[in-house]
A and B are shown apart, each in its own frame.
Chain A
């Protein structure tokens, strides 16, 4: 197992170089450059050319890539064109906010969807199952910006229970760590609810399908034939096996966790990675785009590795050979 992990970690290096090389060229293929946003009759185009040269953008793309790679190997991801701040600093400022929201939503989703999926599968065709199915389709069809605004109008304007936007109450100021945690929690409720409602549908359907498949297996029939109580059949024999696909989803959702939810972050003015990434692309802020690409590539690869290790733990049929 240790050898397997080590091998996978070593494989990361060429993979990362490949990812960064392709991203770098694709990024430069997009029309425009960081000075495109400065189009203003009062700005002399000569000055824009000078600034591009200061950033090294007048050099051939392949050279630019090697400069960039050389700096990254020395731990320097460069500075954002727009803010002049180190890229790493910009990313690390946003990442915790995104992770807080995304991971909370993820666990909340699992907490709701697994029981829902299981019950729907066990009671297939009943009114409960149908209700869950209808709600799932409504959830999938609801645009997030609309749901977000509706929740905001209801809870922040009409009822005035919760704050509408942001992460902190800017007027209360800081009153120590406990008050701050409570403050962030209050601000999280609406974006978290919106995200969770919208992601319920998918995983509920997954869980329901996985459970239905397992319930059809011979060993379940055997368990029932043995005369085991239905509760034990469902929760011990069936559920454990039906959870294996969820591990796959866990691995696959890691990029989403890192990337943030752009629309939710925009509507609720949540200072996360999604907004930073989209802005970076819009501004053609090359160093920041590359920083985000490399960061997310590493996280995705580690996520896949974790999922593979997770398989070995939950599924006794999977063993990573020593050869």
Chain B
């Protein structure tokens, strides 16, 4: 008995100690406080975190966002995008397109030098695009420069003029011309896939590569000769911290200056001293895609009924505590080609039931597949299961490892063996959505739900051929309206990005999908 009492005492002491560790003092929510630019530290060093490992520092080869984040400081492209996601000059001072829409001409800056001092010329641009087009180079971007099976031809007209000759007019090309440029004088004749350059890159950007300790950190230093002005930061250090919670602890401990904030920590971080919290929308949406090759979803009324049965507001508030918004169309509200004028099927369970009855699908039962590791999607599947149950539809949820899921949806022949998938698309800056919706992209391609609508096919083709932005906008508005009405996907939500930045960091740009450090040379830290 005595023994037991002692044991309990030890246990309770231990519990108290551990509880004390996680105790939070109450702090009030505060507003954004930016530092005074006159206090900028000339030798300032910014420490940022990366959630994944950096794999390779060559923009034509890398496929992960972590590597791209670092490449963004070292390399630049012909054009770039501003806060409003509009194309603006970068290495090119101006561009024009011929009347027939086939020949694009880029005039280049004459004052640009590579980090090793060699002048940048049109040859570097041609070399970059030709390397991407080289079948032996393992670049996933090759398809961007091939139209109807024919490659785009890049030519240096003179030292500072580049021409791109397209086999036919192709509006999304402008966005794709923003690819970062790599140096010909270093990579010519080398095996680009395995070149030493890929771990020790040389670019034209505001920062030069300095050091990379695999798996731990990576440092870039100021390029004083950067063509848009000497950067105010002396160094940027990228620390690799794979765990989300540890990243927040590192931000709290002042070891890093910025971290992405998951919805569960939003309130806590918002009230934390020394940290500014920014929110912005992204070009990303999550959806439930119905397999239209499956008899269960052939009838449009069934898909519309499920849309009526979905309480998107509840879904978003349960999952994100307001840090996301309901989605109704296959485009994002911040895209210039977005339209709000689409069928929305607002929550109406009675209408859902009536439509199901009309379609003779009262006993509908289906399985939602989603990928493991994405907590929001896993929870969303369960919430949808509950919501659909209210209109008499039985849903089974199956969570699968990513590759196993892809094996099913990417099966090379139809009909594919699934009912519905809960996944997301990250959209490009150009509204072109040919690869997702065009009937030619089934069964091989990303139209894995077997959607085919001749009018949609026609509009997708027209959108690629139309050069005038206003006219293109109308094409895509029409397109989104038709798709939203058809409901091949049940569009679910647009997540917001939430980023915490230390109060010592200034010179930030307007929060946008392009991030907070769009003008990296202007970012500074105080002492």
Contacts and interface: CB of A to CB of B under 8 A. Distances in A.
Contacts of B427: 41
A312 interface: no
Given A41-B435, A156-B249, A94 B214 contact: yes
A134 B406 contact: no
A148 B18 CA distance: 12
B18 A284 contact: no
A170 B407 contact: no
Interface in B189-211: 193-195, 198-199
Interface in B207-257: 213-217, 219, 237, 239-243, 245-247, 249-250, 252-253, 255
Most chain B beta-carbon neighbours within 10 Å: one of A33, A43, A79: A43
Interface stretch (A6-14, A158-166, A297-305): A158-166
Nearest to B172: A42
Given A46-B143, A170-B239, A269-B242, A275 B404 contact: no
A218 interface: no
Contacts of B445: 45
A33 to B, nearest CB: 8
Nearest to B434: A41
Interface string B4-35: 00110011001000100110000000000000
Interface stretch (A83-91, A109-117, A195-203, A245-253): A83-91
Contacts of A38: 63, 140
B136 interface: yes
Interface stretch (B53-61, B355-363, B463-471, B501-509): B53-61
A31 B3 contact: no
A157 B252 contact: yes
A311 B214 CA distance: 39
A204 B367 CA distance: 48
Given A42-B428, A94-B214, A171-B45, A269 B407 contact: no
B426 interface: yes
B215 A266 contact: no
Given A149-B249, A272-B215, A42 B242 contact: no
Contacts of B193: 54, 79, 84
7 contacts: A31-B407, A38-B63, A47-B139, A54-B135, A134-B11, A165-B250, A266-B243
B237 A130 contact: no
Contacts of A85: 194, 199
A318 B47 CA distance: 58
A118 interface: no
Contacts of B142: 44, 47, 50
A32 B426 CA distance: 21
B215 A43 contact: no
Contacts of A93: 214-215
B403 A36 contact: yes
Smallest CB-CB A-B distances: 8 pairs = A32-B403, A271-B215, A44-B143, A82-B55, A269-B241, A31-B404, A271-B216, A31-B407
Q: How large is the interface on B (under 10, 10 to 19, 20 to 34, 35 or more residues)?
A: 35 or more
A52 B202 CA distance: 28
A280 B156 CA distance: 41
Of B45, B140, B425, the most chain A CB neighbours within 10 A belong to: B140
B140 A269 contact: no
Contacts of A267: 243, 245-246
Given A31-B403, A44-B435, A84-B193, A150 B143 contact: no
Contacts of A48: 140
A322 to B, nearest CB: 48
A138 B142 CA distance: 55
B82 interface: no
B404 A32 contact: yes
A279 B10 CA distance: 40
A279 B53 contact: yes
Given A130-B3, A152-B246, A271-B216, 6 more contacts: A35-B140, A38-B140, A41-B428, A148-B246, A269-B240, A275-B215
Interface in A271-311: 271-272, 275-276, 279, 284
A103 interface: no
Q: Which of B194, B195, B216 has the most CB of A within 10 A?
A: B216
> For the side of the interface on A, what is the size category?
35 or more
A130 B249 contact: no
A94 B249 CA distance: 24
A84 B214 contact: no
Nearest to A138: B14
B451 to A, nearest CB: 13
Nearest to A55: B138
Contacts of B138: 51, 54-55
Given A45-B444, A82-B55, A156-B249, A166 B22 contact: no
Per DSSP, chain B at the interface is mixed
A171 B215 contact: no
Contacts of B242: 266, 269, 275
Contact of B255 (A44, A148, A165, A266): A165
Contacts of A83: 55-56, 198-199
A268 interface: yes
Interface string B423-463: 00111100001011000000011100000000000000000
B403 A30 contact: yes
B148 interface: no
A24 interface: no
Contacts of B61: 84
B16 to A, nearest CB: 13
Contacts of A275: 53, 215, 242
Contact of A269 (B3, B10, B141, B239): B239
A269 B249 contact: no
B136 A54 contact: yes
B253 A43 contact: no
Contact of A43 (B10, B14, B22, B143): B143
B36 interface: no
B216 A166 contact: yes
Contact of B246 (A42, A47, A138, A149): A149
B401 A157 contact: no
B446 A84 contact: no
Contact of A90 (B45, B214, B401): B214
Contacts of B22: 150, 153
Given A84-B198, A168-B216, A170-B47, A269 B246 contact: yes
A212 interface: no
Nearest to B149: A46
Contacts of A130: 3, 6-7
Given A83-B56, A94-B214, A43 B243 contact: no
Contacts of A157: 249, 252-253
A147 to B, nearest CB: 9
A93 B53 CA distance: 14
Contacts of A165: 239, 241, 246-247, 249-250, 255
